[in-house]
Amino acid sequence: MTSSNKLGYLCNCFWLLVPILAFNVLLMRRLPPAYQMNIFWKDIPKAIGVPENLLRALIMILPIFMRLQFSTSHQKLGLGLYLTGSLGYFASWTALIAAPWSSWSVSAIGFLAPAYTPIVWLAGIGLIGDVFQSSRVPYKPWIYWGLSGLFLAFHTVHAFLVYSRGI
């Protein structure tokens, strides 16, 4: 394997997840109590929690194999969606942290925002990583979008169950 091929495998879409994951790790403890792990995961049915976690793992691992580049118009659109979606996601967390008892934060739309806003940045990753690193493995963006959509469905239902507890 040449050094350029090795470098090519480092240029993958997982790098797009790093800011999201870092943000989550750094600020998770500052979210309102209902979002803390011991409360958020309390009494969640396995029929929701297991597929949610399996799908989360898939959408976090799959970008490692997706090539990161911005040469086509679809990839550039994907970058715009990723940036816009990331800002919306970060804003949804910021609102919950800065004003946890505001009418926005205690409304279903506000409380669930961190669960549904990733649809935009995940769609962007799907457009950016439109091919696998290995051309021998067939891949289409709809695979990532489908897995992401399923994950977000389970994740949003999970968040709604937490919200419906009235916490």
Q: What angle do the packed helices 141-164 and 46-61 form, to 10 degrees?
A: 140
Is residue 111 one of the residues assigned to a domain? yes
pLDDT value of position 2: 44
Residue 98 pLDDT exceeds 80: yes
Q: Over 70: is that where the pLDDT of 1 sits? A: no
The whole-number average pLDDT for the span 61-66 is 94
pTM: 0.91
Higher pLDDT, 74 or 4: 74
The answer to whether residue 107 is domain-embedded is: yes
Structural domain boundaries enclosing 134: 3-26+45-164
Looking at the domain assignment, is residue 119 inside a domain? yes
| Residue 157 counted as domain residue | yes
Mean pLDDT of 8-25: 92
Q: Which of 59, 81, 61, 84 is nearest to 70 (CA)?
A: 81
Is 14 part of any domain?
yes
Instruction: Indicate the number of domains in the chain.
Output: 1
Contact residues for 56 (Cβ-Cβ < 8 A; gap 6+): 151, 155
Tokens at 166, concatenated: 């009235």
Residue corresponding to tokens 């690193």 = 133
Residue 40, domain member (yes or no): no
pLDDT at res. 3: 44
CB 125 within 8 Å of CB 69: no
Flag whether 126 is in a domain: yes
Q: Say if residue 128's pLDDT is above 80.
A: yes
Residue 159: closest CA among 54, 78, 41: 41
Residue 72 lies inside a defined structural domain of this protein: yes
Q: Buried b vs exposed e over 46-84: b needs ≥16 C-beta within 10 Å?
A: eebeeebeebbeebeebbebbbbeeeeeebeebbebbee
